[in-house]
Amino acid sequence: MNFAARLGAAIPGATAAAMLALLAADFAGLKEGEAPPPPAPPVEAPDEPEPADAVEPDEPVVPVEPIEPDEPDEPGDPAEPDPPVEPEDPEPVEPPPPPPPEPLDFDHDAPGQLIDGTVHVQADEGVTSPVVISPDMRFPMLTGPAYANSQLFMPNWSWEYYPHQGTIDGVRYPRPQGPQYSAENFAYPWLDNFCEIRTHTNTRCGASIGHQGQDIRPGACWHNQAAVAVTSGQLRTLSNFSVDLFGDDGMVYRYFHLDRPLLVDLSPGEWVDVEAGDLIGFVSNVNRSGAPIVRDTSIHLHFEIWEGDLSGSDPRSPYTSLVEAYRWLGAEDAGNHDAFADIGDCSYPDGGLTPTRAEVQAVLEAAQAAQDAQEAEDAE
């Protein structure tokens, strides 16, 4: 059987005829003597996939036996509850500090403005400078009220014994009439009397002579007002008439007319350390050094400020420093600066002798009790 017959037998009908026509056309295009192209290599059939490993079935799940609950404990004493946790105390909060006290506002004349006619004829006024020479000093009396004014040119102890006209340095000055317990002596305004007419050398005054300090009356004609240290330093006394405080601030402060015995154990020529506010002695009318004690002035404190030392210099006007110190004493000692209704008798009951030690001790104890009460009140 030839190729066409075999092809026709394999592919029946028109399909075989068509394929034969195509083959005939291909053979016709061959050049004579050319061999036909080699047959195409047979197409290898794809490898058959290897069978996959069979998945073994999961092992059967063994059921979990239920857990039996524990048997309850046998009843017994109930367990004690934990103690409550106490809250921690909060940190204490410091209260804000109280506002500083307001300084006392009181009536006082200007520095250098003395009573008319009480300055030397060669000068019209005292030291008018507003400078505060000792701005940090304490007031020299324990409490208020206190009144800075004149002892010679206001009603005083001498009106009964001296004419109403006094002669100083050849000049006659008027002397007022009236006892020293006159109400005007214990009233505001304050009056400066630094450079008031005296025979003491004072080159800061217009005539180079004049009063070297400031006179201060206690609140009334009583004998229980204590003078105190105005700053820290050393005390010294040379007589029964004066006490000098050599301050750590470089100033010397002088106290005149303090009663005896003093409130500090101080013998003439010795030195005693003090702090500001320490008691020194009672304000009195002692007016002469030495013995016996002579009381021929009004009850007052004569107070001086010297710069450097007591030699080779003149005193400085204490008036403005006293005004400033009194304003701050008034801030700390509020309510004790109004004038007393009862000024009292200015003479000692025993006719002029010093108070007894028992009287001094009673006043000291009262002052200490008042100070303790104030400190306790401030601590609350």
Residue 191 burial (CB < 10 Å; 0-12/13-18/19+)? buried
Rounded to the nearest 5°, which phi and psi values hold at 174? -70, 140
Residue 112 has pLDDT above 50, yes or no: yes
DSSP element (H, E) containing 242:
strand 242-247
The mean per-residue pLDDT over the stretch 144-172 comes to: 69
Q: Which position has the higher pLDDT, 160 or 340?
A: 340
Q: What pLDDT, on a 0 to 100 scale, did the predictor assign at position 189?
A: 95
Average pLDDT taken over every residue of the chain: 76
Q: What SS3 class is residue 336? A: coil
Instruction: Look at residue 74 in the predicted model and tell me its pLDDT.
Output: 63
DSSP letters along 133-182, please?
Answer: S-TTPPPSBSSS-EEE--SSSSS-GGGGTS-SEEEETTEEEE---S-TT-
What are the residue boundaries of the structural domains of the chain, listed by start?
A: 146-379
User: Percent of the chain having pLDDT more than 90?
Assistant: 27
Tell me the whole-structure pTM to 2 decimals: 0.66
Burial of 185 (C-beta count, 10 Å sphere; 0-12/13-18/19+) = buried
Burial of 22: CB neighbours in 10 Å, binned 0-12, 13-18, 19+ = exposed
Q: How far apart are CA 133 and CA 317, in angstroms?
A: 8
What's the rounded Cα separation, in Å, for the pair 152 and 166?
Answer: 10
3 pLDDT tier (thresholds 50, 70, 90): low
pLDDT at position 356 is 47
CATH of domain 146-379: 2.70.70.10
pLDDT of 67 > 80? The answer is no
**Cβ-Cβ contacts under 8 Å for 295 (sequence gap 6 or more):** 284, 285, 286, 287, 348, 352
Write out pLDDT tens, residues 316-353: 999 999 999 999 987 776 566 777 766 776 765 444 44
Instruction: Give the three-state DSSP class for 252.
Output: strand
Of the listed ranges 136-140, 141-145, 332-336, the least confidently predicted one is 332-336
